Amino acid sequence: MELELELRRKIYNLIKKHPGIHFRELERKLNIATGNLQYHLQYLEKKNLIKSENDGGYVRYFPKDCKLDENGKKIMSFLRRKTSRHIILYLLSKESANNKDIAKDLNLSPSTVSWHLNNLINAGIVEKEKIGRESLFKIKNPEKIVDILITYKESFLDKIIDRFIETWEPIVLK
Amino acid sequence: MVVDVDEIIRLLSSILALLIFTISIIAYHRERRKKLFLVSLAFFFYALKGFLKVSDIFIPQKGEFIEIFANLLDFIILALFFMAIVMDK
């Protein structure tokens, strides 16, 4: 009943497919007016179909039946931020690294890396280990992150289907 | 049995149409829009037509029937695209 409206169903399906998606991303993907999107999101939340969570910088949306626990949702929020995601993936591949190496290999400034690392440490995703004068950073629970990455990785088929819909949309679907 | 270039191209087109049909039917299941279903059907009939035409290679004695049926399928395909374009929702 709540999802009878095509646009509302579309918003819900997008949140289901991309748990942790934030408002601007939704707006960009759906190409609809801010007020309209706000209205539908409020409706879906009121009807208990989705849940919004503020991760400090963004309001993120999750489906109510989302299988992620609180920690998983937090990890997902960071994975949805480009720079944080790159740092997480880098640390996953290296096991541990210092700020200088991360900044050099990811082509970022040390202060940017430091800011993201602090956030990741505060969220309990990354841990800092001091060896002598050097600080090394490593992922606290790599298995969980890998698990989330595999579960929510957009498949090749998903992309093709999205493109198919985008192709037909201006011709017949509007 | 002689397979010419024309028939190979026809077979490849049919396989491609079948692939597009699969993608479009998945898109329909996700979006639940009737228009996508019509487009899916059109691709399915296109693939069917192609396979019917290449079946000449294996069963050459079918004769006229294939041509008439292929023409009918052409009409159905175009009608489906037309309906998808003019339909309200």
pLDDT of A71 over the 70 cut: yes
Sign of the Cα torsion A20, A23, A28, A33 reads positive
Q: Would you say the ipTM is above 0.95?
A: no
For residues B16 and B46, is the Cβ–Cβ distance under 8 A?
no
Predicted local distance difference test score (pLDDT) of residue B17: 95
Using CA atoms, how far residue B70 sits from A25, A35, A128, B47, B62, in Å, is 46, 50, 69, 11, 13
pLDDT of B89 over the 70 cut: no
Detail the DSSP E strand segments found in A8-147: 21-22, 50-54, 59-63, 96-97, 126-131, 134-139
Query: Hey, are the CB atoms on A172 and B84 less than 8 Å from each other?
Result: yes
CB pairs under 8 A between A and B: 30
Query: Hey, are the CB atoms on B35 and A173 less than 8 Å from each other?
Result: yes
For residues A20 and A78, is the Cβ–Cβ distance under 8 A?
no
Distance in angstroms (rounded) separating the CA atoms of residues B37 and B28? 6
Distance in angstroms (rounded) separating the CA atoms of residues B81 and A155? 29
For residues A45 and A52, is the Cβ–Cβ distance under 8 A?
yes
Q: Which residue has the higher pLDDT, A113 or A95?
A: A113
Distance in angstroms (rounded) separating the CA atoms of residues A71 and A55? 12
For residue A173, what pLDDT band results from cuts at 50, 70 and 90? low
pTM of the model: 0.55
Residues in chain B with CB shorter than 8 Å from the CB of A10 are 31
Please tell me the distance in Å from A29's CA to the nearest CA on chain B.
15
Question: pLDDT tens, B65-76?
Answer: 788 888 999 999
Q: Which residue has the higher pLDDT, A152 or A92?
A: A92
Q: Determine the straight-line distance between the first and last CA of chain A, rounded to whole angstroms.
A: 22
Centre a 10 Å sphere on the Cβ of residue A73 and count the other Cβ atoms it contains: 18
Task: Mark which residues 1-60 of B lie under 8 Å from A by CB.
Answer: 20, 23-24, 26-27, 30-33, 35-36, 38-39
Nearest Cβ partner for A161 among B26, B38, B81: B26
Sign of the Cα torsion B6, B8, B13, B14 reads positive
SS3 A168: helix
